Amino acid sequence: MATAPHARTTTAPVPTQSTYQTRVADYWNAEENPVNLELGRIDDLYHHHYGIGAADRSVLDETDPDLRRERLTAELHRLEQEQAVLLSSHLGPLSRDDRVFDAGCGRGGGSVVANLRYDCHADGVTISAKQAEFANAQARKRGIDDKVAYHHRNMLDTGFRSGAYAASWNNESTMYVELDLLFAEHARLLRRGGRYVTITGCYNDAYGRASREVSLINAHYICDIHPRSEYFRAMARNRLVPVHVQDLTADALPYWELRKQADHLVTGIEDTFLTAYKNGSFQYLLIAADRV
């Protein structure tokens, strides 16, 4: 397992801390979903999140079945790359000597995006040993393994050095953990003035309790979506002060509308996301906060 020089520890990592986390790790160790893998094969940037922005719907008019599939896949990947680029744009300014922390890194695409943008050092953490192995292989393939490393560790208890990071983030991974435990670890790892960013789905307090659609999403991904308000309460309790909040809900709709038409990628959850976004029970937010 590759480790970053400034984040090296002598303690053994503890990947899971509960039966639930073991189930989540088992899920991702077994996961081979085309919606993750086929998109990543285009340019070896493997993301585990959704996309934002206006979609090129002309791909749906393609009459050749094989070319239609190829164009649909490429357009969905472009939209998810737009999401990763937006998140990374809120991490800076960063220097090439700075370190960033990718919590719940999946197959590693977000850390690569940050490194390409800032030439910084990046440590990704995933509870899945399979994902960490895959992501490290990708870093070696790109020739950036001297700066980008992935670790089979728990993002709630990384063992990395306190204050070692200039920026950190979660990209659609906060719903797998308790927010107070998560933000306490980010606050510990970030230096004073360091930037934390998350893009996440959350349920809308103004709607009331979690809707039927939110419950279906939870069941589909074995997660527990938090209410919007809890993000800000938990940040305040853990020395993270929001400096930018952006509602991406409308920007997320084109991705889901397009993915619904991609027969080779659908998972059955597409209509649920679209309904939840449109009925106001579910929101897609970017929150950037400074560690004080």
Classify residue 117 by burial, with Cβ atoms within 10 Å: 0-12, 13-18, 19+. Answer: middle
Residue that has been written with the tokens 């160790």 in this structure: 29
pLDDT of 40: 85
Cis before 227? omega within 30? no
Q: What whole-number distance in Å separates Cα of residue 230 and Cα of residue 188?
A: 20
Whether the Cβ atoms of residue 104 and residue 150 lie closer than 8 Å to each other: no
pLDDT of 12: 45
Identify the CA nearest to 199 among candidates 99, 72, 69, 102: 102
pLDDT of 6: 46
pTM for the structure as a whole = 0.93
**108 CB-near residues (< 8 Å, 6+ apart):** 46, 102, 124, 131, 134, 135, 136, 138, 139, 148, 150
User: Considering just the CA atoms, what is the radius of gyration of the chain in Å?
Assistant: 18
Name residues of the chain where pLDDT drops below 50: 1-12
Helices 212-221 + 270-279 axis angle, to 10: 140
pLDDT of 27: 86
Q: In what side-by-side order are the strands of the sheet with 165-171?
A: 148-152, 121-126, 99-103, 165-171, 190-203, 282-291, 240-247
**Cα 84 to chain centroid, rounded:** 8
Which residues are paired to 244 by β-bridges? Answer: 288
Per-residue pLDDT tens digits for 147-166: 999 999 999 999 999 999 99
E-strand ranges in 139-274 read 148-152, 165-171, 190-203, 240-247
Both tokens assigned to 58: 């002309």
Helices 249-259 + 65-89 axis angle, to 10: 160
Identify the CA nearest to 238 among candidates 173, 194, 286: 194
17, 172, 200 from 206: Cα distances, Å? 33, 21, 17
Angle 24-262-40 (CA atoms, 0-180°, nearest 5)?
Answer: 55
pLDDT of 35: 81
Q: What whole-number distance in Å separates Cα of residue 188 and Cα of residue 184?
A: 6
